[in-house]
Amino acid sequence: MPWQRLQTDFRFALITLFGTLATLCLVPIAVYRFMTGATATGFIDLGVVIVIAGSVVYMWRGGSVEVAGRIAAGIGAAGVIVVSMLVGLAGLLWVYAVVVASFLIVGKRTAIAYGVVTVLTVAAVGTGFDSAYMRVAFAVTGLVVGLFAYIFAHRTEHQRMQLEQLVTRDALTSAANRRAMEQELPIAIAASRRNDTPVSLAVLDIDHFKHVNDEHGHETGDRVLVDFARVIAATTRRGDRLFRYGGEEFVLLLPGIDATALPVLCETLRQRVADQVEVGGRPITMSVGAAELGPEDTASEWLARADSAMYRAKRDGRNRVVVATTPGTGAVIDLLLRQAARRD
């Protein structure tokens, strides 16, 4: 899964690259320093490598990308400050690399803070400057490099967010799309297992949607889909994620929700949709199949259980909620909830 994240999470990939480059560059330098008797600097280089590599390992094992980036950039900044005091020019040159890298691996504000503190501190206390003029020139060039890095990071982030939205959003309903779901379910599973917290998902399928299109036209059908997604989004919490899985089928990811809480939650959703989404004065209803993540579930097994619960809700008359049994928990809930007035 972390290998997959290399392709899907830009910051994750950049921190990994930063860690790899730092290790490849600094280990030989540390060895050289030990061989030439510069033991103190050698230990500092080695310490920096260990902390940066540690932050990458922490991130690969599921830790926060933001925290890993801050640690890596922070230790990089501290390292160049100390080294610039100990070895002069050879240390000063690293400042530029660390300032630019910070803008790639941490948020812009943190990178600005790290960059300004690093450049000004090195300009003030670094050795290897032969005049006050050189110190000022170093500070100015360091800050200019930081400014360009900021502009680049800002534009890249903006474009990346636009692209990400295009690729992961459903254009009609603004819900996340199936591609996003395929990326996010494994992440939700890993987070649930790591933190030992429950996570559930619900498959929501609008009933007799074909009739809506046939009777009222495709445009009205589109409007119903938009209203439906809006009502679900308004009824769920901030951390819940709504995906458009297929035409009139949606998947709702519910972190922190277990099988006991699912029936009431899904029933509330079903009720809201029936109350607030309508076409030609008649309520739109949905069938819901929900499942808590089981201890051994893969993403597709989990989704399949919720999906078959949804098909059972359809078979049993639609406009109802079915919660699947969670394997490995001993619970036999297979809960059926009431149906409201049926449209058919």
**From the CB of 262, what's the least distance to ligand GTP, in Å?**
21
The nearer residue to ligand GTP, 230 or 314, going by C-beta atoms, is 314
For residues 110 and 213, which CB has a smaller minimum distance to ligand GTP in the complex? 213
Does position 169 interact with ligand GTP (CB under 6 A)? The reply is: no
CB nearer ligand GTP, residue 160 or residue 282: 282
188 touching ligand GTP, by CB under 6 A: no
Residue of 110, 168, 174, 213 that binds ligand GTP (CB under 6 A): 213
Residues that bind ligand GTP (rule: CB under 6 A) add up to a total of 16
- Draw the binding track, 304-323, toward ligand GTP (x: CB under 6 A; -: no contact): ----------x---x-----
Question: Could you say which of 81, 184, 198, 207 contacts ligand GTP (CB under 6 A)?
Answer: 207
- 243 touches ligand GTP by CB under 6 A: no
255 in contact with ligand GTP (CB under 6 A):
no
Nearest alpha carbon to residue 107 among 140, 141, 64, 45? 64
Residue 340 touches ligand GTP, criterion: CB under 6 A: no
Contact 29, 71 (CB under 8 A): no
Neighbours of 224 (CB within 10 A): 20
Q: Give the one residue of 218, 237, 282, 342 binding ligand GTP; rule: CB under 6 A.
A: 218
Check 182, 184, 248, 296 and give the catalytic one: 248
Q: Tell which one of 225, 231, 291, 303 touches ligand GTP (CB under 6 A).
A: 225
Instruction: Find all residues with CB under 8 Å of 9, minimum gap 6, and list them.
Output: 65
Please, which residues bridge with residue 199 across strands? Answer: 255
Q: How far, in whole angstroms, is CA 11 from its chain's centroid?
A: 10
From the list 112-120, 129-137, 221-229, 231-239, the region that binds ligand GTP by CB under 6 A is 221-229
Within 8 A by CB and 6+ apart from 293, the residues are 188, 189, 192, 198, 199, 200, 201, 302, 326
Nearest residue to 85 via CA among 95, 75, 97, 70:
95
Spell out the residues 6+ positions from residue 17 whose beta carbon is closer than 8 angstroms to its own: none
Which position among 9, 66, 222, 258 is part of the footprint of ligand GTP (CB under 6 A)? 222
Cα–Cα distance for residue pair 326/211, rounded to 1 Å: 34
Tell me if 289 contacts ligand GTP by CB under 6 A: no
CB of 192 within 8 A of CB of 198? Answer: yes
Are 97 and 146 a contacting pair, CB within 8 Å?
A: no
Range in contact with ligand GTP (rule: CB under 6 A) among 5-13, 49-57, 60-68, 200-208: 200-208
**Least distance from ligand GTP to the Cβ atom of residue 285, Å:** 9
Shortest Å, Cβ 240 to ligand GTP: 22
Please name the residues in contact with 294: beta carbons below 8 A apart, sequence gap of 6 or more.
301, 302, 305, 326, 327, 328, 329
| Pairing, β 282-283 against β 278-279 | antiparallel
Active-site residue, 296 included: no
Residue number, 17 or 226, with CB nearest to ligand GTP: 226
Q: Which two tokens stand for residue 142?
A: 């360091």
Task: Give me 193's structure tokens.
Answer: 């297992």
Is residue 210 involved in binding ligand GTP (CB under 6 A)?
yes
Distance spanning both ends of the chain, measured CA to CA:
45
User: Of 2, 247, 317, 328, which one interacts with ligand GTP (CB under 6 A)?
Assistant: 247
Q: Phi and psi (nearest 5°) for 278?
A: -145, 160
CB 344 within 8 Å of CB 273 = no
For ligand GTP, the binding residues (CB under 6 A) are 172, 205-210, 213, 218, 221-222, 225, 247-248, 314, 318
- Active site (catalytic) residues: 248
